[in-house]
C-alpha cells in the first residue's frame, strides 16, 4: 500500500526510490496518529491509502456504500472534486449498520504531475474517545475520582447527576470540580469541557490494534 502511495500521490522530486518510500512511510505514520477516518482515492477511484481510524471503522470498504442514496450522494461529490475541483461536505451512513449519518468531507487533491485524487475525511464517531480523555487526565495528574467527575461532565451530566450516580454528596463533587479547575487552569465548567473538546485528535484508542 505504501508503494502505491509513493507511486501515485507523492510528488516526484528526483529523489531515490528509497527516500520516496520513506516519505510515504512517514506520511502514513503521521496520518495513523489522527483519529479522523482518512481515505485517499486515486484518479481512478482506487483507495490507495486508509489510516488506522478508517480501517477500524470501515475495514476495506469505502464509506457510504450501504444505501443507494448515500452512494449517489458520494458519487456526485467525488465527481465534483475530480471534474470541477469542488470541495463538498455531505452526510452518509458511513458503514453498514449505521443508524445515524456521518459528515464526510470530499476534498480534491492533485499530485506533482497534476493527476487528480480525492481525500475523504469522516467525522469522528465521538468528539473525545474515552482513552483520549484518560490520557488527558493522566497528563493533568488527576486522581481517579476527579477523572470520573471529568468523564461525567463530558457525558453531559450536571454535578447533581454525577453525585447521584456515584452515591456521594454534592459537596464532594463540587470539591473535586474545584480541584479539576485548579489542575487544568479552567475558570469554569464550560471552560473545562471546552479544553477537552480542543484536545489534539490523537488515536490513543486505536494505536497498535489495527
When comparing pLDDT for 56 and 209, which is higher? 56
Residue 1 has pLDDT above 70, yes or no: no
The model's pLDDT over 106-122, given as tens digits with 9 standing for 90+, comes to 999 987 778 899 999 99
* Domain ranges across the chain: 2-122, 130-197
Whether the CB-CB separation of 32 and 209 falls below 8 Å is answered with: no
How many degrees, rounded to 5, is the angle at CA 63 between CA 71 and CA 197? 125
Q: Write out the CATH class of domain 2-122.
A: alpha beta
Fold of 130-197: Arc Repressor Mutant, subunit A (1.10.10)
Nearest to 118 by CA among 62, 78, 61: 78
The model's pLDDT over 79-89, given as tens digits with 9 standing for 90+, comes to 999 999 999 99
Amino acid at each position: 500500500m505504501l508503494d502505491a502511495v509513493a507511486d501515485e500521490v507523492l510528488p516526484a522530486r528526483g529523489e531515490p526510490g528509497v527516500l520516496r518510500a520513506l516519505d510515504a512511510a512517514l506520511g502514513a505514520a503521521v496520518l495513523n496518529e489522527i483519529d479522523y477516518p482518512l481515505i485517499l482515492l486515486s484518479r481512478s477511484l482506487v483507495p490507495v491509502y486508509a489510516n488506522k481510524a478508517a480501517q477500524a471503522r470501515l475495514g476495506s470498504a469505502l464509506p457510504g456504500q450501504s444505501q443507494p442514496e448515500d452512494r449517489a450522494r458520494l458519487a456526485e461529490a467525488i465527481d465534483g472534486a475530480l471534474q470541477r475541483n469542488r470541495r463538498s461536505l455531505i452526510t452518509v451512513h458511513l458503514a453498514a449498520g449505521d443508524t445515524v449519518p456521518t459528515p464526510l468531507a470530499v476534498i480534491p487533491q492533485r499530485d506533482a504531475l497534476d493527476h487528480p485524487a480525492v481525500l475523504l475525511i469522516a467525522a469522528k464517531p465521538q468528539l473525545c474517545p474515552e482513552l483520549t480523555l484518560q490520557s488527558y487526565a493522566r497528563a493533568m495528574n488527576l486522581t481517579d475520582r476527579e477523572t470520573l467527575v471529568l468523564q461525567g461532565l463530558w457525558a453531559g451530566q450536571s454535578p447533581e447527576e454525577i453525585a447521584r450516580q456515584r452515591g456521594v454528596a454534592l459537596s464532594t463533587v463540587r470539591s473535586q470540580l474545584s480541584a479539576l479547575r485548579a489542575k487544568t487552569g479552567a475558570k469554569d465548567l464550560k471552560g473545562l469541557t471546552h479544553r477537552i473538546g480542543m484536545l489534539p485528535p490523537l488515536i490513543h484508542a486505536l494505536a497498535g490494534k489495527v
